[in-house]
Amino acid sequence: MSFILPFIVLIIVVVFIHEYGHYYFAKKYGVGVTDFSIGFGKELFGWNDKSGTRWKICWIPLGGYVKFFGDRNVFSQADQEELLKKYNKEDQEKLFVTKPLYQRSLIVAGGPIANFVLAIFIFLFIYMFAGKDFTPAIIDEVQKDSPAEIAGMKKNDIILEIDNNKVESILDVSKLILMSTSEIVDFKVSRYDQELLLKVKPKIVAGVDNLGNKINKRIIGIKLSPYNNEINHKKLGPARALIESFKEVYFVTTSSLKYMGSMITGSGDSSQLGGPIRIAKISGQVAEFGILPFISMMAYISISLGLINLFPIPLLDGGHLMFYAFEKVLGKPLSQKTQEGFFRIGMFLLLTLMFFATFNDLKDLGLF
């Protein structure tokens, strides 16, 4: 239960925000919404609002959906004329398919947009009320014969950048090394007021993270310490906190894309790809450390959900946006048969990804 309850809270919040993004833009442009569901399957409980929308919680909390008025396939324009015959003039105004292309696109993109907004809001809250660390990353020790020593790193070097990412805190170093997908990691260091560019080839070793989970660590062989043991942790004003929040969301997004790209090319570590089981495990572990680490994890999961949903894969929001791009270029929607073919491909890709992620989760639990 220590894992399940935090996981359910995390999923409900992130999924609700995602679906509310769709709901918000749908209502903004006059599209009728019949159902707003958190979860799939049988309804556990729910209620109807004044506009007739059924808000409900279902017993499988691994996702959700917003169902629009009158739509069998809410994203298909191919059968628009047939659909319009079934409704009077007033009801036709509530149909998704009658809306202009830009409105349909915003309604579909609203879910991922909402996920990114949630992450920005969480980071903004943390930086304003808990603060952000700006302690310089100073090398206290370079291990003998380590990749760092071979590359020329020395004691008292100040790490300024890693792979062109600015190091603002001593806490950034391990994160940037871990998330790097390059075989050679570029370090910019300051030594006696001179800036040097050093190329380090990390060792890949099996280890565990701070939560005790198995990971493949990238080790370079340095120890860091704050200068004169002084920690520079400060609360930020609203403007600076907002800038730092955008920077963090941008960094996580670009790093995730690089990681996924490395897996496609075969150079990335696919064993670190996890699914719901691993998320449940880690969310329970993180929740034990307090509310701030937990909501931080929620922000990262929200970014991941928003990003994945923008992939041009049918069944995902990005797939529907891809169809709209075709519609814009061709001047008409793709045929129903063509869309169905894309949907079959999308289903295959998603099932393959889910199978692979679940296999990694079970392997992580020692079941394989």
Which sign does the torsion angle of CA 260, 279, 179, 129 carry?
Answer: positive
Distance, CA of 97 to CA of 78 (rounded, Å) = 9
Q: Tell me which residue of 218, 243, 213 sits closest to 128, measured CA to CA.
A: 243
Single out the catalytic residue among 19, 141, 161, 230. 19
Write the DSSP assignment of 116-130 as a string of letters. Answer: HHHHHHHHHHHHHHT
Q: Tell me which residue of 69, 68, 107 sits closest to 88, measured CA to CA.
A: 69
For residue 244, indicate whether it is catalytic.
no
C-alpha 330 chain-centroid distance: 32
Distance, CA of 271 to CA of 269 (rounded, Å) = 5
HSE-CB at 275 with a 13 A cutoff on CA atoms is 18
Q: At what angle do helices 291-309 and 238-265 cross, to 10 degrees?
A: 50
On the 0-12 / 13-18 / 19+ scale of CB atoms within 10 A, 256 is: middle
Residues recognised as catalytic: 19
